[in-house]
A and B are shown apart, each in its own frame.
Chain A
């Protein structure tokens, strides 16, 4: 059972970075590039910082650049949580 779901990420995006009017965040976004969803590097830094505060999982800068879709962020966070034995 994943501890961090796509809905958790959706909530973080909504609360901390806002939503582009043209984007349906509730749609099937797991494999959509963040750029296409209207999120830039600052938005991802903001999300990473929120996730670190809420879930205790830091996302290093180099790693963040590789995580280009919501799905990849969810996978990464869960791997880290599992590794930490949470």
Chain B
């Protein structure tokens, strides 16, 4: 018999909301957390909008020593992991550490720490042969993104499989799916799975400026992220983390745990087409959705809600609309679809796990979060995108999709636990 995997704890650090309940309150109220960038001086940049986390590491419970050691992305991950473990009520100390694992996603790792140290050691870019004498002890930890998984593993006292997955903007979905796979195959009993990214720094902003992928709507920052809207003009960079506790379902029930959702099935496909470009037909994403449905043993009509990638770029929103039609047929027109990136921006690798956390909460609360800022839908995006206002809805099964640089497409299906 195959083992089924459930989410028993959720921890979130998101723009506009620290903590799971604040996060759900923001999403269900349809409030946007995008604003003019305050984390660095962005006045020379094309896009000066972002969804920032108001993060006070001390208030979030991190010691001075932890704050010195950890990059912002690591801090987000650890704070989320602590909340998830508390929420699940699991006694990690009572488990065999070798049966506890971590599967964390991140697209750009500790990029803030890496960049900040670079400016010091290179004297603001003046020295190619950077000064090695002034390197902080944690510099190597910033260079390797695996550090993020290390921090969460220490938090969980995990001695089983620990890994960081870095498949760009599908990292968050892929890491949770990988974590579920570790539980399903029996490599671990409990896995802390999720993703984190803190990319709001000059180099990340500059690289998206260079390809005109981010929104230049600097005059109206609060409404800059407009997935599926005819006026959309790019994504809004965000940051944050979500970590979930994954367990085998019968073990979770045996200890009386609350189960938010069951991870039913997933599939990943690649377009092998272009690092950033998408073919309008959505073929590979549709294939991923089809395979995920078959693994979850569901039909298109079983899907009650789609949490879209919905980045707000011209090509993405059409691409995925096509993919939903291709994979779900007529049902695509009946099922509510929404993009929470309209509210919390696009936090690269982290967003997939933030979206899965939102899906788990939608299943738990029977409410579908809206697509904020959607006033005039693009005629080529003609599905029900739940504009502006959250909707009470009978939600039993949810599809969440992600699409990222490299051509990666991932589909994940969650259900209300039986």
Contact = CB atoms under 8 A, between A and B. Distances in A.
Interface of A: 40-42, 45-46, 49, 61
B275 A42 contact: yes
Nearest to A45: B211
Contacts of A40: 274, 277
A6 B210 CA distance: 24
Interface string B262-279: 000000000000111100
A40 B275 CA distance: 11
13 contacts: A40-B274, A40-B277, A41-B276, A41-B277, A42-B211, A42-B275, A42-B276, A45-B210, A45-B211, A45-B212, A46-B210, A49-B210, A61-B212
A40 B212 CA distance: 14
Given A40-B274, A42-B276, A45-B212, 6 more contacts: A40-B277, A41-B276, A41-B277, A42-B275, A45-B210, A46-B210
Interface in B271-294: 274-277
Contacts of B211: 42, 45
A69 B1 CA distance: 60
A61 B112 CA distance: 29
A38 B356 CA distance: 38
A46 B275 CA distance: 15
Contacts, number: 13
Contacts of A61: 212
A46 B207 CA distance: 11
B217 to A, nearest CB: 14
Interface in B196-219: 210-212
B272 to A, nearest CB: 14
A69 B277 CA distance: 20
Contacts of A41: 276-277
A42 B273 CA distance: 13
B160 to A, nearest CB: 40
B87 to A, nearest CB: 42
B44 to A, nearest CB: 14
A42 B212 CA distance: 10
A57 B210 CA distance: 16
B320 to A, nearest CB: 19
A61 B216 CA distance: 12
A55 to B, nearest CB: 18
A40 B276 CA distance: 10
Contacts of B210: 45-46, 49
A41 B211 CA distance: 9
Interface string B375-394: 00000000000000000000
A45 B208 CA distance: 12
Contacts of B275: 42
Contacts of B277: 40-41
A49 B207 CA distance: 12
A43 B211 CA distance: 10
Nearest to A46: B210
Nearest to A41: B277
A38 to B, nearest CB: 13
B372 to A, nearest CB: 25
Interface in B65-102: none
A61 B210 CA distance: 11
